[in-house]
Structure 1
Amino acid sequence: MSGLKDLKLGLFSYSYRMAFGAHDVKPRQPMNLFEHMEHVHDLGFDGIQIDLTHLTSHDPAYLKDVRSAAAERNLFVEYGSAYVTADTIVQELHVASLLGAPLMRTFMGFSRFERGTDVAEETTRAVALLRSVAPQAADLGIRIALENHCDATTPELLEVIERIDSPTVGVCVDLGNFMIHLENPVAAVRQLAPYIINTHFKDYAMKMENWGFKSYGVALGEGVIDLKAVLDVLVGEAHLDRIMLEIVSEPQASETETLALEEANVQRSYRFAREVLGIGTG
């Protein structure tokens, strides 16, 4: 695949969500963002996407310290903000700007599977809001990547992006989230290719439970997603110059086992991305 060797490889900090302790697991000694950047650099990644919950402050001095720490380690920075709301999105764009991030990922954030959710109303709200803030984002030199976040289906997301009709707003494709809607990630990425500007590149496995099926995160190459076919589209049709990994691990019986699995999955995924997929080997 042409272009693979020149790709940059990044890691979304949510890949260490359990080590950070900002989500569903609370370790006794949580990781902080500066430790995370040092670790990601030592592993060999080229950049990071910072989850908003892993920032301890929005104080400009703190954000500039984060930016400087990333620059010292030659890590590119992206910002992973929350879902789209009128109350927060402009502030989040300024956080991204202070971090030196040229890209901010967001999502619509509605609960599709709750009774009473009006999908058309939610997507129309997102279109209006993102269309209104696109000029401010452009002035800051930031592109907004709207993720498929278990809310909109691929056709719905495609319609939203086309209605916004701005080069500032594109798509972040999360390969695992497509499976929540029983969509084929390869086919979905092909549909969205003209608008893809960011990735949560991951692998998911599936298994049957008594109540139905479960999809869950695993290390790259250990799930059911055709990662080589997806990468072919991302490079050949979306023309990306960087791939952002998001490696999601399952909590285990103990804190020690949980953190060990999370670390192992990231490291195995890094090796698979470099050695098997050939990302950034030039």
Structure 2
Amino acid sequence: MRTPTSTATIGLSSYAFFWQLSGRVSEPLSIHQALERTAALDVDLFQICDYAPLESMSAAELKDVRTTADALGIALELGTKGIRPEHLRRFLRIAGILGSPLLRTMFNVPGHTPSAEDAIAIFREVLPEFEAAGVKIAVETYEQVLTARILDVIRRVDSPYLGICSDPANTVAALEPPREVIDAVAPYVLNMHIKDFAFSRKEGWVGFTYSGAPLGEGLLDYDYMAGKLQPKERNINQIIEHWLPWQDSEEETIRLENQWTQQSIDFLRSK
């Protein structure tokens, strides 16, 4: 596997290909094709995040993904949802095959909404195995669990192998202001999800839609976030995602998805 450089690496998430990897399009990309697209954009980091087919892949199929990434010079990171011990251990094995040094996750999944005490006990149980494997866990900020509660767990576990995946776009739905979240999580960030966001009036001015925006055109104060989190100085990878709504056609959706990806890459490289 290619080792990321000593400064922050710009990467693409599978969410940057959300529609193109989905069954909504007539010819969905395979994960191998997404890696090829990533390499064609001169990006050398790819985070396979919440990609359902991964869990059903055999060890041989996972090794094939690693082989493709290695051949293209792409480092891999891994993302999932949930913190049940058996689930985390399953993804630790997957991370080992893919060569991922990081597992992004979220606390809640259907059927399991752990309390802070539950989460602390789980992380204390599994983290020695993650530390032995050299894999860190980054818990993403999102609307289902208040940031203060996530931070309480991380502080009480107190391990360099447990931290935050910062995504201030998610927390707006819990009425948590992005700047306050950025300030709070800054010392604990291990990974950054980069996507812009905006409100728009619904038809007839009845309410709002909260959705994605091309990076640099929405409400994300990237300069403030980068100043607080210091990704270059702290070697925190920045992973590009999108909240792109489905457009009027498959062709337009794919065109815009690719356009937003290129704009995001150009934006981050200009900083």
Q: Which runs of 5+ in 2 are unaligned?
A: 1-5
Q: What is the aligned partner in structure 1 of residue 18 from structure 2?
A: 17
**Alpha-carbon shift at residue 32 of structure 1 (Å):** 0.6
Q: What is the aligned partner in structure 1 of residue 251 from structure 2?
A: 256
CA distance in 2, matches of 1:260, 1:38: 17
- Aligned ranges for residues 102-121 of structure 1 at < 5 Å? 102-109=101-108
Contact 1:194–1:237 under 8 Å retained in 2:
no
- Aligned ranges for residues 70-89 of structure 1 at < 5 Å? 70-89=69-88
Give % identity. Answer: 31
Of residues 30, 33, 40, the one that matches 2:31 is 33
**Alpha-carbon shift at residue 230 of structure 1 (Å):** 0.4
Contact 2:8–2:232 under 8 Å retained in 1:
no
Contact 1:106–1:146 under 8 Å retained in 2:
yes
CA distance in 1, matches of 2:55, 2:255: 24
Q: Which runs of 5+ in 1 are unaligned?
A: 112-116
CA distance in 2, matches of 1:184, 1:38: 37
Q: What is the aligned partner in structure 2 of residue 101 from structure 1?
A: 100
**Alpha-carbon shift at residue 56 of structure 1 (Å):** 7.2
Q: Could you say what secondary structure the match of 1:55 adopts? A: helix
Of residues 98, 101, 123, the one that matches 2:116 is 123
**Alpha-carbon shift at residue 242 of structure 1 (Å):** 2.1
Residues paired across the two proteins, number = 263
Q: Could you say what secondary structure the match of 2:267 adopts? A: helix
Q: Could you say what secondary structure the match of 1:145 adopts? A: strand
* C-alpha RMSD of the superposition: 2.4
Please state if 1:154 is matched with 2:152: no
More displaced stretch, 152-161 vs 236-245: 236-245
Of residues 260, 268, 279, the one that matches 2:263 is 268
Q: What is the aligned partner in structure 1 of residue 3 from structure 2?
A: none
* 1:39-58 Cα shifts (integer Å, max 9, x gaps): 11111212010023253743
Q: Could you say what secondary structure the match of 1:221 adopts? A: coil
CA distance in 2, matches of 1:193, 1:35: 34
Q: Could you say what secondary structure the match of 2:219 adopts? A: coil
CA distance in 2, matches of 1:131, 1:212: 44
- Which aligned segments of 4 or more residues in structure 1 are displaced greater than 4 angstroms? none
* 1:9-49 Cα shifts (integer Å, max 9, x gaps): 0011112111001xxx5211000111111111111212010
Please state if 1:181 is matched with 2:174: yes
Of residues 119, 140, 144, the one that matches 2:137 is 144
CA distance in 1, matches of 2:109, 2:126: 19
Residues 237 and 258 of structure 1, relative CA distance in 2, 3 Å threshold: closer
* 1:227-273 Cα shifts (integer Å, max 9, x gaps): 11101112179823421121221111221121112111111111111
